[in-house]
Structure 1
Amino acid sequence: MSFDGVFLHGMTAELKAQLEGGKIVKVQQPYPHEVVLVIRSHRHNYPLLLSANPQLARAQITTIPYANPKTAPTFVMTLRKYLENASLVSLTQVANDRILTLQIRSRDELGDQENLQLIVEIMGRHSNVILVDTATNKILDLIKHVSPDQNRYRLLMPGAQYVQPEQQTGWQPFSHELTTADWEQLLLKLRDLKNRPVTVLQQAYQGLGKDTAQELATRLQRVTSVVELKEIVTSFWAEFAQLQPTIGKNEKGQLQFSAIPYQSLTDQQTGFDSLSAMLDSFYGTKAESDRKHQLASAMLQRLNNVIKRNENKLKKLAKTIDRAHNADEDRIKGEILTTYLHQLPEHGTEVTLPNFYDDEKPLTITLAPDLTPAKNAQKYFTRYNKAKTALTVVQEQIEETQAELDYLLGVQAQVEVGEPKDIEDIRVELEQQGVLRRTQKRKKLRVKINPAEQFYASDGTSILVGKNNLQNDQLTLKKARKTDIWLHTKNMPGSHVIIQSDHPTPETIKEAAMLAAYFSKARQSSQVPVDYVQVKAIHKPNGAKPGFVIYTGQQTIYVTPTQDLVVQLRQKK
């Protein structure tokens, strides 16, 4: 199900019960198009996520961890000025449209009461979060500024009068009472073979997404009378009074979510505590991936370019090596030309002579017509000597380039398996290694590396996981005790994992190994080999790249990583 007006109806009811009357204690903007209001209500802090992300626009309470940027965006500074310590008076949905309005009561610098609206428009690429002064109906600020050139219907800029988007036509599913004539008209349109039932229902009712309309059309397939039509439709809307969050698969095998079980979905999963909990489950991995790539897009592009450049360099060096291995042919030709120097023609282009290294078989040798016979022989010796020298030099270059490529591929893998909050550390590392250009601001500031993420094993033992090379070095070389257990996937890029115990149980070692495999390039693999050894056996060579260590005396365990275990060990915090 898309986050349409029908789903927002259910979400609004859920949020009203949890948040109305609460106090906004913190305002954050972890990502460019998303804000989080931490609302204190019923003696509990609820992180309310308001997202204007084009693909993931929604409003929900979230438990997915997030990290704030080191420099707060302008929009969140405005929200903090007006909303921190303000009261959330009410949450309302505009008709059955995809617009959620938060009525907020605050006080200005003089202590006078002021009423504000935080309006969340959940409309795909046109989604927005807008702060409006209720008294003047003026926009104070918004998460996306839209110029008149992009939207001529209304101006979405600070200081402009707020104008609602054009409302959809049609009946409101949860408040409009249809007349007998309305039901008859709807039945006629549904039975007309020229019409598509899904389109008819979307035009008839306000705020229906395609999947909601498809579900209702599925239930109305065999309807033949007005009485039957009214009964099924009324019953369908009534089901939304008792929400049952569901995730299932549509006819194309794609995962969808809904506020109630849908007959048009298969392999349905229910049992979620709330719509918000269901959305965390549904969006968790995808949302994190999209946010991460949004933050890291320029960095990844540069990283991919450098990786490709090193791959091309390796191919060229390999060709040079192949030519160097054939250098003996040039030496043999030079010796043959020297032996039969008196037989070489002046200004000739080639000569055929007996090869005394191959049973006197004739060998045709190319000559440069502008060179003397002696210089032609010398040319082959010069080429031979260059090739032999290159063999040693090029082999060193290949080893250096391969090490650089392995390092870059490891960083690339860390971006893929990491989280949005880890991107900044990876950016700093690439700047230190010269892959990215260091900003003037970064040159002046001392960079603080985020700490490794902490998990807890089933028996309560602390397990630390580094998400990038800088965290790995900090964790293994500075934070870990010599008697702690260190784990890492065997012969592949991944996280350093530390069990903060000198005698962990076999079950704890297995759980830590699964974390090491999950936060590595082998996340989607089975039977992943993971080495483990005490930290005192770890050594970092001088001049080695960040995250690179060597070790001896390790043992190896084979595990299959699962996301469920990662979630379980996180929740034990």
Structure 2
Amino acid sequence: MAYDGTVLKAVIEELKNNLINSKVEKIYQPSKEELIFNFRGNKGRYKLLISAASNSPRVYFTDVSYENPTIPPAFCMLLRKHLENSRVLDIKQYKMDRIFKIDFLSKSELGDLINKSLVVEIMGKHSNIILIETDTNNIYDSIKRVNSFTSRIREILPGLTYSASLISTKYNPLDPEIFEEAINNFDKNKTLKNNLINTFTGISPLISREVTYRANLDDDRIFSSLNDEEYILFIQALKSLINQLKNNEFSPILIKSDAKIIEFSSLDLQMFPQAEKISYDSISALLDDYYSHKEKSQALNEKSNSLKRIVKNHLDRTVKKLEKQSEELNEAIDREKFKIYGDLISSNSYKIEKGIKSIELENFYDNMKIISIPLDEKLSAQQNANKYYKKYSKLKNAVGILNNEIDVNKNKVNYLNSVLLNIELSDSISDLEDIRDELVDMGYLKKQGRNKRQKNKKVTFLEYNSSEGYKIYAGKNNRQNEELTLKFARKSDMWFHVKDAPGSHVILKEDGRDFSMKSIKEAAIIAAFNSSLKNSNNIEVDYTLKKNVKRHPAKMPGLVSYINYETIVISDKDLLNLQSNKEVVN
């Protein structure tokens, strides 16, 4: 998904229609590389976001509220000094590239009228926002200063002269006078896609694919392989799209596939089915929705990945500890051999000389069979015997302790695996904050500063309707699972959980009717889907009346014990039915 020249052209047209002659009311800099301009004009008030962030540089009208720092950054103060209360004269895009400038009429410190321009370059990691004097192109300053160490092509520093020509060397597709020259400069040995992208400004891979689609050609076709008829179709398709841009015939669309946004464009792209398109009246509204969703998803992923790393580290350590304890338990169970070693050494101490590493003796506990016993060569015979007696005694006492510790660590492993699943099921920052609070309470994380979250806030479960009208609820994390099972559910409700694996607690609410197998299966499908086994086939799900479910003795969040249960098997086909909403509607 690219914020290309065609998208910027639609944004520029929208800005021109609404901002010309409007005044700058206030300027904010909510983050290191983002600016917010508040405008007031005859057509109302507008909030313009301009971002030079390397991962998502962009510009558009926004309705999103941003938190501003208490002390404005230096560049923000500079812009306030030069541009607040100034009037917008014009907004121009450079050669349909991802470069544009807003011309302002402002006053100098002496009250003289002076033209100033804000230049915005949307160029990935090289994106920048630059304040210049319009007539001289003299640079006042920029949101990112670029010196000779940063770029060998061009410096952006106060006092230097600004020029876009060094970074925008391609042909302007909207200039009819150079169109033929641009086509003649196509590399015959390169594909149509590469030629379009490398020759014209503002053309992204998405737009190049649209051009070749309209011409009924593959965008990977080598240019020289086109016959005369194909060449004509290609040129016609390219000119048709260019005319749409010239005439500002914009139809902003989001493209969704399998509920995921895969593309956006300022043009109605013919290569996508109509069913996958979501239309917008405004390109800014589209971009505001898209980037707001993207930022939330990025924040969610970052927080999710951070919690996953913490939980996995604790899980790995607990698993290693459990493996070591299991080895020690096996040795403890096999402790009798150390008593035998001690007895045999004591009985034959007169035969054993100090300094040997092992000795073979007759085992009077096993029909006088020969047994080899390791010895510490630094110890005498009796000292070796005492060493084995001491080890035997220690292991005898260790069995009970190890069994308890193994049970505790097994519960910890089950708990941490359930937390990993909960993180996967989380679809909001609030869900992840609940999990973080739980990890703090369990001692896996340190408490953060003075941040206090509302402990008794309302819990919202996943809610489904069965095909027969029953209500079905599922928890998304351990806190919700506990609330759902131990507080929300009645004794007569049916409880579900995937067998021997992390998963959500699921409740099928009793409403006076006897539970049918159809509704039981639908609830079991939800339990299977919201579990760590969701990608498996033939998933076993246990179910029982809620009255048979108790809090687990380990008192770990979300862990319960249950009796008098039955098991139903859920296939991958059943899960597909849920995802396509054929069985149960969310």
Q: TM-score, normalised by structure 2?
A: 0.66
**Letter matched to residue 520 of structure 1:** S
- Alpha carbons of 1:171 and 1:345: their partners in 2 closer, same or farther (altered >3 Å)? closer
CA shift at 1:544, angstroms? 0.9
Aligned partner letter, 1:552: I
Corresponding residue for residue 436 of structure 1: 445
1:417 pairs with 2:425: yes
Give the % identical residues: 27
Confirm or deny that 1:213 pairs with 2:233. Answer: no
Shift of 1:372: 3.2
Give the match's secondary structure for 2:370.
Answer: strand
- The answer to whether the 8 Å contact 2:252/2:286 transfers is no
**Aligned equivalent of 1:545:** 556
Q: Contact 1:484–1:499 (CA<8 Å) still a contact in 2?
A: no
Q: Specify the alignment match of 2:454 in structure 1.
A: 448
Q: How does 1:359-398 map to 2 (within 5 A)?
A: 359-398=367-406
Contact 1:16–1:90 (Cα < 8 Å) also in 2: no
Query: Is structure 2 residue 254 aligned with structure 1 residue 235?
Result: no
Counterpart AA for 1:236: L
**Aligned equivalent of 1:270, options 268, 276, 285:** 276
Tell me how far apart the structure 2 counterparts of residues 187 and 283 of structure 1 sit (CA, whole Å).
Answer: 35
- Is structure 2 residue 479 aligned with structure 1 residue 470? yes
Q: Match of 1:188?
A: 184
Q: What is residue 532 of structure 2 aligned with on the other side?
A: 521
- C-alpha displacement at 1:62, in angstroms? 12
Tell me by how many angstroms 1:426 deviates.
1.5
1:12–1:93 Cα contact (<8 Å) kept:
yes
- Per the normalisation by structure 1, the TM-score is 0.67
* Distance verdict in 2 for CA 1:392–1:481, change over 3 Å: closer
Q: What is the CA–CA distance in structure 1 between the aligned matches of 2:320 and 2:327, rounded to whole Å?
A: 11
Partner of 1:335: 343
- C-alpha distance in 2 between matches for 1:101 and 1:123: 14
C-alpha distance in 2, partners of 1:495/1:57? 39
Change (3 A) 1:551 1:283: farther
Return the letter of the residue paired with 2:442. Answer: Q
Inter-partner Cα distance in structure 1 for 2:90 and 2:484: 45
Cα distance in 2, alignment partners of residues 273 and 544 from structure 1: 51
In 1, Cα distance between equivalents of 2:381 and 2:489: 72
Post-superposition offset of 1:404:
1.3
Give the AA of the match of 1:233. Answer: L
Distance apart, 1:537 and its partner CA:
4.2
Instruction: State the match for 1:24 in structure 2.
Output: none
Distance 1:278 1:434, change over 3 A: same
Match of 1:176, as an amino acid? D
Give, in angstroms, the shift of residue 317 of structure 1. 1.9
The Cα shift of 1:388 comes to 2.5
Work out the number of aligned pairs and report it.
535
Within the alignment, does 1:304 sit opposite 2:312 as a pair? yes
Q: Cα offset for 1:410?
A: 1.7
Please give the secondary structure, in 2, of the residue aligned with 1:520: coil
Task: Classify 1:500/1:207 alpha carbon distance in 2 versus 1 (closer, same or farther; 3 Å).
Answer: farther
What is the CA–CA distance in structure 2 between the aligned matches of 1:138 and 1:414, rounded to whole Å?
52
What letter corresponds to residue 206 of structure 1 in structure 2?
A: T
Corresponding residue of 2:176: 177
Question: Take 1:141 and 1:513, find their aligned partners in 2: how far apart are those partners?
Answer: 59
Question: Could you tell me how far 1:385 is from its partner in structure 2?
Answer: 2.0
Secondary structure at the counterpart of residue 362 of structure 2: strand
Structure 1, gaps ≥5 residues long: 21-28, 38-46, 83-88, 104-116
Give 1:511 shift.
5.7
**What secondary structure, in the 3-state scheme, does the structure 2 residue paired with 1:437 have?**
coil
The 1:375–1:457 alpha-carbon spacing in structure 2 relative to 1, beyond 3 Å, is closer
Q: Distance in 1 between matches of 2:542 and 2:204?
A: 50
Local SS of the residue matching 1:364: strand
Equivalent of 1:492 in 491, 496, 501:
501
Match in the other structure for 1:111: none
State the alpha-carbon separation in 1 of the partners of residues 502 and 131 from structure 2: 45
Structure-1 separation of matches of 2:31 and 2:564: 44
Instruction: Give the SS at the match of 1:398.
Output: helix
Using a 3 Å threshold, how does the CA distance of structure 1 residues 118 and 202 change in structure 2: closer, same or farther?
A: same
Q: Which residue of 2 aligns with 1:107?
A: none
Partner of 1:41: none
* Aligned match of 2:114: none
3-state SS, counterpart of residue 362 of structure 1: strand
Q: Which moved more, 1:459-468 or 1:397-406?
A: 459-468
Q: Which amino acid aligns with 1:560?
A: L
Would the alpha carbon gap of residues 154 and 405 (structure 1) be closer, same or farther in structure 2, given more than 3 Å must change?
Answer: farther
- Taking the TM superposition and a 5 Å limit, the aligned residue runs for 1:58-77 are none
Larger Rg: 2
User: Matched residues in 2 for 1:327 and 1:421: separation?
Assistant: 52
8 Å Cα contact 2:4/2:203 also seen in 1: yes
Q: Which amino acid aligns with 2:433?
A: E
Take 1:410 and 1:461, find their aligned partners in 2: how far apart are those partners? Answer: 27
